[in-house]
Amino acid sequence: MTFVGLTALQAQSPKIQFEEFDLDNGLHVILHEDHSTPIVAVSVMYHVGSKNEDPNLQGFAHFFEHLMFEGTKNIERGEYSRYVEKAGGTLNANTSSDRTYYYEILPSNQLELGLWLESERMLHAKVDSVGVNTQKKVVIEEKKQNYDNRPYGSLLIEMMKRAYEKHPYRWTTIGDPDHIRSASIQDFQDFYDEFYVPNNAVLTIAGDINKDEARSLAEKYFADIPRGPEDLYRPQVKEPVKQKQVRDTVYDNIQLPAVIQGYHIPALGTDDYYAVDMLASLLSEGQSSRLHRRLVDQEELAMQVMLMPMDMEDPGLALTFALPNVGVDPKKVEKVMDEEIQRVRNELISDRELEKLKNQVESQLVQQNSSISQRAVNMARKYTYFENTNLINTEIEKYQAVDKQDIKRVANKYFREDNRVVLYYLPESQKKSTSQLNK
């Protein structure tokens, strides 16, 4: 770590200011005041994702993301988003393996509307057969559209089920349509009662607000929501260390083959995770990155290549994805990918490359907080995973601490053949010719 780099940085990055507190029912509240635009982001992050699901009820967390728009005791079916639209706002939600996130972005005079909507959702969302049945159809269609019929849409599903044997990361958020289809209303109600509770949530109010007013409004709408169970299900599963490379082929409705590698890496927030993230930038961030330059520009073997660590609460994967050019043998592409990883394992990167990586990371970290809504989700995540909201300001130090030896070391420690899954995606047409050949 260079001392000069750090001081320059501290001089430049203004801290993101926030205030946080817990309500008596355990709801954590983060307030961030910023008057540059007259808008407010109201969001709730529930610390529940697909990894908290019963293995027999895969897809529940994501299903709830849909169900939670169906209405509440006081909000008629279909009206939830209409309130927001009428107010000139926008809303949405998303689910990962680790958490579920809901947000509204509203003109700042509608702050109270946002709080009413989110508190209704937390207090008494409608979990009834009409809503469940409607959303069952929608979610099953969504799976068809986004996973089954989209080229490479099943990538994560295929990768995770081979990469994990024990840990619930072995299934992904979309889950299993059969589990969803056959689940009972009671199953849904139980899930809601267990996880959609204030002591499992972070409320973030960011934007053109008055902190004191926002605090009392948060209390007004959320304080009377009863605390939920303390012992909600958090899997304590440790995935056994891989001993052997897994290789497989997936035939899909695609035109172009793809090569995907998944290396087991440490969890988000660990020192090694940051080194792995820098290694990923070295290989695939920008047109001058090692893999892009070699595969796309110089040897013209691939249209696209990227290496991306998954930011997961428990140890996840770093995924490489390459799309070979038309007619290029995927093996040739994989060989170059392996060579470039081997190079990082054998040789220290240059000083200039390290400086480039630090510059890139710094630029990304700053720019990923450029809007109110980005700041809101980033703060909520830092609290949900680490109970350390201020990580949004200090994370840069973790990256700055990474040196050349670290990058070489993590390359050797994690980017090993026996620690990975390799998948070839091939067009379905090639499957037929193979099977006929085998006959």
Partner 1 sequence: MKLFKYFIPVVLLSLIASVSTAQLDRSTPPEAGPAPKIQFDNPPSFTLDNGLEVIVVENHELPVVHFQLTVDADPLREGDAKGYVAAAGNLLRNGTENKTKSEIDQEVDFIGADLYTYQNGIYASGLKKHAGRILDLMAEVTMQPVFPKEELDKYKKNQISNLAAGKTDPSQISQRVARRLRYGNHPYGELQTEATIEEITREKCMEYHQTYYKPNISYLVMMGDIRQEEAREMAEKYYGDWQQGEVPEHQYDFPQTNSGRKVALVNKDDAVQSVISITYPVKLRPGDDDAIPARLTNNILGGGVFSGYLMQNLREDKGYTYGARSQLNSDPLVGYFRAGAQVGTEVTDSAIHEFLYEMDRIRTEPVEKEHLKMAKSAMTGSFARSLEDSRTMARYALNTKRYDLPDDYYATYLQKAEQVSQDKVQKTARKYVRPDQATVLVVGNKEKVQDKIARFADKEEVALYTRQGEPVREAAAVPEGMTAQKVIENSIQAMGGRENLSRVKDIQETASVSMGPRTIVIKTYREKPNKMAIQTMMNGSVVQEQVFDGEKGHVTAMGQTQELSGKQLETIEFQARMHKFLRYDELGVKLSLEGTETVEGKTAYKVKVTNPDGVVRYDFYDVDSGLKVKTKQTVTSPQGERTSTQTFSDYREVKGVKFPFRRDVSGMRSMTVKVDSIQVNEGIEGSVFQ
* Binders of partner 1 in range 208-227 (CB under 8 A): 208, 220-221, 224
Q: In a 3-state reduction of DSSP, which class is residue 313?
A: coil
Contacts with partner 1 in 70-89 (CB under 8 A)?
A: 73-74, 83, 85-89
> Please, which residue, 312 or 396, has the CB nearer to partner 1?
396
> Please, which residue, 39 or 68, has the CB nearer to partner 1?
39
Among 144, 286, 405, 428, binds partner 1 (CB under 8 A): 286
Contacts with partner 1 in 224-283 (CB under 8 A)?
A: 224
C-alpha distances in angstroms, 15 versus 18, 183, 396? Answer: 9, 46, 12
Q: In a 3-state reduction of DSSP, which class is residue 178?
A: helix
What would the two tokens of residue 380 be? 């909520």
Among 165, 329, 339, 418, binds partner 1 (CB under 8 A): 329
Total binding residues for partner 1 by CB under 8 A? 74
Among 43, 100, 289, 320, binds partner 1 (CB under 8 A): 289
C-alpha distances in angstroms, 398 versus 27, 267, 320, 361? Answer: 29, 14, 23, 11
Q: How far apart are the first and last CA of the chain?
A: 61
What's the CA gap between 210 and 35, in Å, rounded? 9
4 binds partner 1 (CB under 8 A): no
How many CB atoms are closer than 10 A to CB 93?
18
The dihedral sign for the CA sequence 260, 263, 267, 271: negative
> Please, which residue, 259 or 312, has the CB nearer to partner 1?
259
Among 302, 372, 376, 423, binds partner 1 (CB under 8 A): 372
What's the CA gap between 306 and 311, in Å, rounded? 15
> Please, which residue, 404 or 409, has the CB nearer to partner 1?
404
Q: Which range of residues in 19-27, 58-66, 306-314, 425-433 is near partner 1 by CB under 8 A?
A: 425-433
Q: Which range of residues in 30-38, 259-267, 268-276, 404-412 is near partner 1 by CB under 8 A?
A: 30-38
C-alpha 332 chain-centroid distance? 31
Contacts with partner 1 in 345-364 (CB under 8 A)?
A: 352, 355-356, 359-364
Query: Do 423 and 152 contact (CB within 8 A), yes or no?
Result: no
Query: Do 99 and 108 contact (CB within 8 A), yes or no?
Result: no
304 binds partner 1 (CB under 8 A): no
> Please, which residue, 167 or 375, has the CB nearer to partner 1?
375
Q: How far is the CB of 293 from partner 1 (least distance, A)?
A: 8
8 binds partner 1 (CB under 8 A): yes
C-alpha distances in angstroms, 401 versus 3, 86, 394, 405? Answer: 10, 48, 12, 11
Q: How far is the CB of 186 from partner 1 (least distance, A)?
A: 25
> Please, which residue, 360 or 390, has the CB nearer to partner 1?
360
What would the two tokens of residue 343 be? 């190079």
- In which element (H, E) is residue 42 found? strand 39-46
Among 34, 148, 190, 338, binds partner 1 (CB under 8 A): 34
Written as one string, the DSSP assignment of 139-167 is: HHHHHIIIIISSTTTTHHHHHHHHH-SSS
Among 111, 214, 392, 421, binds partner 1 (CB under 8 A): 111
Among 10, 109, 189, 412, binds partner 1 (CB under 8 A): 109
What's the CA gap between 226 and 249, in Å, rounded? 50
434 binds partner 1 (CB under 8 A): yes
The structure tokens 């000083």 sit at 351
> Please, which residue, 244 or 352, has the CB nearer to partner 1?
352
> Please, which residue, 9 or 232, has the CB nearer to partner 1?
9
The structure tokens 């392996």 sit at 338
336 binds partner 1 (CB under 8 A): no
> Please, which residue, 74 or 189, has the CB nearer to partner 1?
74
145 binds partner 1 (CB under 8 A): no
Query: Do 136 and 180 contact (CB within 8 A), yes or no?
Result: yes
Q: How far is the CB of 321 from partner 1 (least distance, A)?
A: 18
> Please, which residue, 74 or 184, has the CB nearer to partner 1?
74
Window 164-203: contact mask with partner 1 (x via CB under 8 A): ----------------------------------------
What's the CA gap between 76 and 133, in Å, rounded? 16
Q: In a 3-state reduction of DSSP, which class is residue 236?
A: coil
Among 20, 112, 142, 397, binds partner 1 (CB under 8 A): 112
371 binds partner 1 (CB under 8 A): yes
**Which residue from 416, 421, 385, 417 is spatially nearest to 170, judged by alpha carbons?**
421
